A and B are shown apart, each in its own frame.
Chain A
Amino acid sequence: MSASTPFQQRVAAAVADKRVVRAVHLATLKKVEAREAGMDQLRDFEQIRSLAAQVKQHTLDYLPRYLEQFVEQIEGRGGAVHFAPDAEAARRIICDIATSRGLKRVVKSKSMTSEEIHLNQALEAVGLRPVETDLGEFIVQIDHDTPSHIVTPIIHKDRRQIALAMQRELGCEYTEDPTELTMIARRHLREIFRNCDLGISGVNFGVAETGTLCICTNEGNGRLTVSRPRVHVALMGIEKVIPRMRDLPVFLKLLARSSTGQPLTVYTTLISGPKRLQDADGPEELHVVLMDAGRSDIWAGEFREVLRCIRCGACLNACPVYRNIGGHAYGSVYPGPIGALLTPLLHPAGGHEELPRASSLCGACGVACPVKIDIPDLLVRLRAQTHRSHPLAKRVAMRMWLWAMKSPLVFRLGQRLLRGLLKDGGDGWATDGPGPLRAWTQPRDLPIPPKRSFRAIWQAELSNEDKRG
């Protein structure tokens, strides 16, 4: 379903797809457990979260200074830095690097920033065929799909769909065995890695002190992407910088644990400049593309702390809404609670004002966030900015709700009225409300109020107490 379909329809379609809902449910719950087990290994993970939040916030508060240092260090080590104020500039810079050097065989490791700027389409438009090499992204690419989770791109796909796509696109024998499917992809991509000449990666952390790029991966495709080709291009948002090398372990101890529960990703790669003269192998050129693309607007406003995000995906896994609608329903590159903030903030005119409302504000995302972004609070603040975009009926309904919440009498009367008006759909849920309430019940179901309200039970209990007194 495309992003131009109204949000409520996308959600309705997602919820109706029971197979996807079940797959996402199982996978996210497993990750939530793994995260908790991983965090529990740490002596005091709350203290480390506080440090991580503080280091990132500090870096943001002094961002121009750290970016300057970072750029100077990379250039001092023989790397080139390019500045992209927007997505279009980033695409053009990367395409130019490829075409001006005649680089044709392009491999990519997983990068959400490259998804954000739709880099592959831009490369294809200049006649290149970039190959996604992360297993999940590779399957997304051959199946002409889009990722639905920032860490696990094919969380929504089952093995049957993957098997069909592999058979159709690679001409291999049909198998649903995950190990065999993985090995088919390995063999296919191995030859591509052997002959590639341009590697494009993202960046997890940029160390200002040394100009080092830190990339955290599990499969090894990231390492191949940054070491096999003649030219390595790293695309990086300006918010990825951190001050010092010794700040890195603070984040490394949290990132993989928050994502998958691992103490560290299998490979933590530190890149400081291109291949040295005497090095046995490695890329001759290193290009770092520093991209703004809406980040400085976020930075200058009241939502700066959103830029602390390290893209671990923990808030997606923790979110009961994400778990029930999956990533595609958000209609944005970044789904889940953090996506509900980032997407409308990065693209204020993009028509994403529904996203911050796609949350029950239960707070699980804020608790899971390794850099302590107060996601629920920011969601509420973002909602407040866009409440005028609600349809009139909904605004009327919310007014009535406000009125009822302020007056015990109106609340009690409203409760009685509702009990009479809400019709049980047969399973204890009302799917349609009367009058202005329809604006609320149209995308949601309401539980049928019980025969006796909590207040009535409370009253009765109190008078019993008095009698027993």
Chain B
Amino acid sequence: MNLQDFLSSLTKRGGGDRERTPLPDDLESAVRQVDGNVDLIGVFAASAEAAGARVRRTSGADWLTAIAGILGDLDATRICTQAAEVGFLSRARSAELSEHLRDSGMTVSTDTGDDELFSADASITGVSAAIAETGTVVCESGPNAARGASLIPPVHVAVVGAAQIIPDLCDYFEQLPGGPELPANVNLITGPSKTADIEGTLVTGVHGPGKLFIVVVATAS
């Protein structure tokens, strides 16, 4: 069946005299909860923690040791990370990170194939944006950003540059491109994987990562 035939069950019965509701144009004045005049890092950290993520605030100098510390505390040894630039994790910083973790005795793979992802103890990704209102990190798919990287390993470490934090959920949707640049897959991630299906008891890590760490790096620049 084609589109026009399919729509004919609507268009034939148009009900043309029916009153039609206009599309509201000003959504933001009601929908916006957080504006830029707040401590964005503080609001972001509080919201993310409330959703069950753990947030580490670091400076440009100690972000590497912070990540190594998180992974070390978990006894994670097999780490997946990305090879190329996503957000704060530039190509150079990714390489620096891999080297630092290898020096700490971990096995680091920049390949995000099934064998790597399904056997990894943790993955580290950059993010495309972070949303203060909800404590959300955003992972967009792309050549160097596998959908599985923030999803398959039991621990996800998201690295956020402080400048990437935007105030409100509506800010993210406002800036998304509509054309071919729109990524095929975008995930807004708010806390670790959760279920409360069994008697309302909260359990984390049912299918996605049970632990979500967010490392916020405040650089001097």
Chain A contacts to B: CB under 8 angstroms: 23, 26-27, 30, 41-44, 47-48, 51, 54-55, 57-58, 61-64, 67-68, 71, 77, 81, 83-85, 89, 133-136, 139, 152-154, 158-159, 162, 178-179, 181-183, 185-186, 189-190, 193-194, 209-210, 212, 218-221, 223-224, 226-228, 238, 243, 245-250, 252-253, 260, 262-276, 278-282, 290, 292, 296, 299-300
Cβ contact within 8 Å between A135 and B195: yes
Cβ contact within 8 Å between B199 and A246: no
Cβ contact within 8 Å between A83 and B197: no
Cβ contact within 8 Å between B24 and A296: no
Binds A, one of B9-17, B37-45, B88-96: B9-17
B7: which A residues are within 8 A, CB to CB? 64, 67-68
Given contacts A263-B51, A280-B143, 8 further A-B contacts (CB under 8 A): A83-B1, A85-B6, A182-B206, A245-B173, A250-B27, A260-B196, A262-B51, A282-B147
B155 sits at the interface (CB 8 A): no
Cβ contact within 8 Å between B184 and A243: no
A223: which B residues are within 8 A, CB to CB? 147, 151, 187, 207-208
The distance from the CB of B182 to the nearest CB of chain A, in whole angstroms, is 5
Most chain B C-beta atoms within 10 Å of own C-beta, residue among A30, A55, A280: A280
User: In the complex the two chains form, what is the Cα distance from A26 to B169 in whole Å?
Assistant: 32
Cβ contact within 8 Å between B21 and A71: no
The distance from the CB of B2 to the nearest CB of chain A, in whole angstroms, is 7
With contact pairs A159-B198, A181-B198, A246-B27 given, residues A281 and B112 touching in the complex (Cβ less than 8 Å): yes
A57: which B residues are within 8 A, CB to CB? 21
Cβ contact within 8 Å between A253 and B169: yes
Most chain A C-beta atoms within 10 Å of own C-beta, residue among B15, B176, B203, B206: B206
Cβ contact within 8 Å between A218 and B193: yes
Cβ contact within 8 Å between A61 and B30: no
Please give me the 4 A-B residue pairs with the lowest Cβ-Cβ distance, nearest first: A220-B208, A220-B207, A83-B6, A280-B146
In the complex, per-residue mask of B136-155: 1 if CB is within 8 Å of any chain A CB, else 0: 10000111111111011000
Cβ contact within 8 Å between A266 and B189: yes
Cβ contact within 8 Å between A219 and B206: yes
User: In the complex the two chains form, what is the Cα distance from A281 to B172 in whole Å?
Assistant: 24
Interface size on B, residues (CB 8 A): 75
B18: which A residues are within 8 A, CB to CB? 61
Cβ contact within 8 Å between B1 and A85: yes
A270: which B residues are within 8 A, CB to CB? 185-188
For the residues of B in contact with A, the DSSP-based class is loop
The distance from the CB of A43 to the nearest CB of chain B, in whole angstroms, is 6
B201 sits at the interface (CB 8 A): yes
Cβ contact within 8 Å between A266 and B147: no
B54 sits at the interface (CB 8 A): no
The distance from the CB of A21 to the nearest CB of chain B, in whole angstroms, is 15
Write the chain A residue with the least CB distance to B82: A280
Cβ contact within 8 Å between A266 and B191: yes
Write the chain B residue with the least CB distance to A186: B206
The distance from the CB of A208 to the nearest CB of chain B, in whole angstroms, is 11
The distance from the CB of B69 to the nearest CB of chain A, in whole angstroms, is 25
Cβ contact within 8 Å between A249 and B169: yes
- Of B20, B182, B207, the contact of A61 (CB 8 Å cutoff): B20
Most chain A C-beta atoms within 10 Å of own C-beta, residue among B27, B47, B146, B170: B27
A290: which B residues are within 8 A, CB to CB? 6
Cβ contact within 8 Å between B184 and A276: yes
A154: which B residues are within 8 A, CB to CB? 197-198
The distance from the CB of A232 to the nearest CB of chain B, in whole angstroms, is 10
B73 sits at the interface (CB 8 A): no
Cβ contact within 8 Å between A158 and B187: no
A77: which B residues are within 8 A, CB to CB? 180, 184
The distance from the CB of A42 to the nearest CB of chain B, in whole angstroms, is 7
9 A–B contacts, CB within 8 A, in A order: A54-B22, A81-B3, A153-B197, A179-B203, A186-B206, A220-B193, A245-B173, A269-B188, A300-B10
A219: which B residues are within 8 A, CB to CB? 193-195, 206-208
The distance from the CB of B36 to the nearest CB of chain A, in whole angstroms, is 16
Write the chain A residue with the least CB distance to B174: A246
Cβ contact within 8 Å between B200 and A280: no
Cβ contact within 8 Å between A253 and B187: no
With contact pairs A266-B189, A269-B186 given, residues A246 and B10 touching in the complex (Cβ less than 8 Å): no
- Of A85, A181, A182, A250, the contact of B31 (CB 8 Å cutoff): A250
The distance from the CB of A437 to the nearest CB of chain B, in whole angstroms, is 40
B23 sits at the interface (CB 8 A): yes
B9: which A residues are within 8 A, CB to CB? 85, 292, 296
- Of B2, B146, B178, the contact of A209 (CB 8 Å cutoff): B178
Cβ contact within 8 Å between A58 and B142: no
B194: which A residues are within 8 A, CB to CB? 218-219, 266
User: In the complex the two chains form, what is the Cα distance from A139 to B203 in whole Å?
Assistant: 15
B10: which A residues are within 8 A, CB to CB? 63-64, 67, 238, 296, 299-300
- Of B24, B147, B178, B182, the contact of A227 (CB 8 Å cutoff): B147
B189: which A residues are within 8 A, CB to CB? 266-267
